[in-house]
Amino acid sequence: MRRSNSSARLRRPVLYLALAVLVAGALAAPTIAKRSSASQGGLSVTKSAFGSVNGQGVDRYTLRNRRMSVSILTYGGIIQQLRAPDRRGRMANVTLGFRNLGGYLSDAYKTANPYFGALIGRYGNRIAKGRFTLDGKQYSLDINNPPNSLHGGFEGFNVKVWDATPIRTANRVGVRLTYTSPEGEGCTQSMPSTPPCTTGYPGTLKVQVDYTLDARNQLRMDYTATTDKPTVVNLTNHAYWNLHGEGTGTIYDHRLQLNANRYTPDDPTLIPTGAIDPVAGTPMDFRRFHVIGARIRSNFPQLVIGRGYDHNWVLNRPAGSTNMIVAARLVDPSSGRRLTVSTTQPGIQFYSGNFLNGTLYGFSGHGYRQSDGLALETQHFPDSPNHPNFPSTVLRPGQTFKSSTIYGFSTVGR
């Protein structure tokens, strides 16, 4: 009996301690569970090998929430696949691209060079005749879209293998891509019958692009860049969208709205003339939703020049403002999918896929033909270095280029 009582007395402190631990754990449990839910909440980022380019390994980062997923390649920062639900919850890949890396490296792709899903730089869009003057010095670039330079030249950011680091925050998951562009990049070779380039872009440019996904089906891109010498910078992404699903046909039945009262008309080589014209009374007017195919084959001179839409729209924002605003809304009436593009940039290029010619067979195995996808590229204006009246794209040492764009996916209709 004494031994039993003594053992009981010895066990009591242990029991009291265990009870205290259980109570403390119960009180702390809700906080721990909440923290875990916030950090995960159906959000995840995974990494997998995706082949190699010239001995460099290429990885694919897949970002997921409970309703959609997006895959980003370290090669070219390419949005390779984005799966989103329709109004009935059925999933489809809504961006043009290839199932494997070979599609992006094929001769057919290099010839057509549609820039599917790629990060574009150093200078997105065209620079007239591959020439610009900065601080009294003329610079010359690759003429890869005769007679102009397009999307950074023959060896732009779209063909670089970027360094990558996964991102995990309380509300988002993603991947951070970094690349250092050496001075002189953008001058690699010449095409027959075009002037040779001699300088490339000035300055060493350090670039960072964060792709992140949240629980509200918003894919966000945050761009930053710094330089050690004065240079010009215009960064964007060249994803092609078909909200009915990649490989299902044209986007002519999609409805588009652009938050722009004006646009920059082009000359016959798709270089802005320098004018900033009103859209009112023209097929360029998307201030209200319009069916893309309704006016695309009209004889309006700008649509004849571009073989469709391939123009920069001037977004409605106060001069000098860099607030995030809605730039475009795109709806596929059949599936009910809606894409809302918001940005801090001053312009957006709407390209209706006019030069897709059926030589490329995409993710689903179907050939991509004219207007099987469209691009909505947030940007500064094309050829800005040669147009003083356009927003400046000059970046100087000590400054940081910053821009952000959000692609938000939702559904409409019953």
- State yes or no: is 238 an active-site residue: yes
How far apart are alpha carbons 84 and 217 in whole angstroms? 8
- How far from 286 is each of 291, 297, 354, 372, CA to CA, in Å? 9, 16, 18, 20
Catalytic residue among 185, 246, 254, 377: 377
How far apart are alpha carbons 380 and 389 in whole angstroms? 12
ω into residue 369 within 30 of 0, thus cis?
no
ω into residue 85 within 30 of 0, thus cis?
no
Q: Are 390 and 381 in contact (CB under 8 A)?
A: yes
Buried b (16+ CB within 10 A) or exposed e, 57-84: ebbbbbbbbeebbbbbbbbbbbbbbbbb
Catalytic residue among 238, 254, 311, 387: 238
Residue whose C-alpha is closest to residue 147's, from 267, 236, 274, 308 = 267
How far apart are alpha carbons 214 and 236 in whole angstroms? 20
Buried b (16+ CB within 10 A) or exposed e, 174-196: bbbbebebebbbbbeeeeeebee
How far apart are alpha carbons 413 and 33 in whole angstroms? 36
Residues known to be catalytic:
238, 377
